[in-house]
Amino acid sequence: MTRIAVCSRSFSKHPILRAELTARYGRSVTFNDAGLSLSGQALIDFVRGHDKAITALEKLDDAFFTALPELRVIGKYGVGLDMIDLESMRRHDVRLGWTGGVNKRSVSELVIACAIALLRHVPQANAEVRAGQWRQLMGRQLTGKTVGIVGCGHIGKDLAGLLNAFGCTVLANDILDFPEFYAAHKVTAVDLETLLTTSDIVTLHLPAGPSTRNILNAERLALLSPRAILINAARGGLVDEPALKAMLSQGRLAAAAFDVFHDEPPDDLELLHLPNFLALPHIGGSAEEAVLAMGMAAIKGLEDHCLP
């Protein structure tokens, strides 16, 4: 009999996903009903005895796969794979059920929301009105701006389409080339330095890894215009956060919005309290529609899977 361990706390308490999985597999499912943040030995102990598992942000390393020879399939709840040691997964012949891009519209809409909020000084204006001040802050429109997308995968492509509706000039930088997509959506492929120096808004959509860690270091951040806005709704660690803080506090960058941080939750209170910095608690995929789509994809992945 197939036995399934649901490691994710949010999946375990989602009534629709829980009902769907139970309808398919009945009593053979073990949910994380204790609401534990599973890692290390606790994660291994929870999954032990199951041949399939649904995971989200849990770290699946070589020790995990080595300790669980009975595990055959991982259904991934969410689109990021940076928490999984894919090489070890292949070595242990564990298959992956994963669908990319199922939360793309949720993240794209959040990026648009952040861009407009910062261009129009929405967080600052809200804070001032609540404090008893009444002044009309002069902002800028998103319409007609040059937006640079760093990483043109599922989310980057979806965002490019939305930006077309605002009449934006869209630039893209990616290690891959997508000439047909670029032509169809009026996107111009450029090198990273050109994108940084010419964009009014720069938005990051890259995976985390050795090649992308601190990809926007102090030197590259300095290429941004003082009127530019930086948005990171991808992964923490892509930006040198201390260098960003210095630029924001010194007026060398207009504003920034981060949904992800090197350490989560972030503990740099000086950065978080800057009036031109919008901090969010990793909610890019936290739209009801996206959560449901990611969960259904994870369930599908229990049967529809392959070696990573």
**Model confidence pLDDT, tens digit, residues 53-65:** 999 999 999 999 9
- Residue 181 is encoded by which pair of tokens? 């997509």
Rounded (5°) CA angle 170-172-175: 170
* 216: β partners: 239
Q: Is 104-279 the same fold as 4-102+287-301? A: yes
Q: How do the domains of the chain map onto residue ranges?
A: 4-102+287-301, 104-279
Per-residue pLDDT reduced to its tens digit, 3-30: 999 999 999 999 999 999 999 999 899 9
pLDDT of residue 64: 98
Q: Give the model confidence (pLDDT) of 113-151 as tens digits.
A: 999 999 999 999 999 999 999 999 999 999 999 999 999
Query: What is the 3-state secondary structure of the chain?
Result: CCCEEECCHHHHCCHHHHHHHHHHHHHHEEECCCCCCCCHHHHHHHHCCCCEEEECCCCECHHHHHHCCCCCEEEECCCCCCCECHHHHHHCCCEEECCCCCCHHHHHHHHHHHHHHHHCCHHHHHHHHHCCCCCCCCCCCCCCCEEEEECCCHHHHHHHHHHHCCCCEEEEECCCCCHHHHHHCCEEECCHHHHHHHCCEEEECCCCCCCCCCCECHHHHCCCCCCCEEEECCCCCCECHHHHHHHHHCCCCCEEEECCCCCCCCCCHHHHCCCCEEECCCCCCCCHHHHHHHHHHHHHHCCCCECC
233/242 Cα distance (integer angstroms): 18
- The pTM of this model reads 0.91
Q: Domain 104-279, CATH 3.40.50.720 — does that match?
A: yes
User: Which tens digit of pLDDT belongs to each residue from 226-281?
Assistant: 999 999 999 999 999 999 999 999 999 999 999 999 999 999 999 999 999 999 99
Q: Quickly state the pLDDT bin for 80 (edges 50, 70, 90).
A: confident
Q: What is the pLDDT of residues 40-51, one digit of tens each?
A: 999 999 999 999
Q: Are strands 277-279 and 255-258 parallel, antiparallel or unpaired?
A: parallel
Please name which of 161, 258, 154, 246 lies closest in space to residue 202, comparing C-alpha atoms. Answer: 258
Q: How big is the CA angle at 9 (ends 305 and 231), to the nearest 5 degrees?
A: 80
Could you tell me the two tokens for 87? 């090489």
> What pLDDT score does 60 carry?
97
The residues assigned a catalytic role are: 235, 264, 282
CATH of 4-102+287-301, one of 2.130.10.30, 3.40.50.720, 3.30.565.10, 3.40.47.10: 3.40.50.720
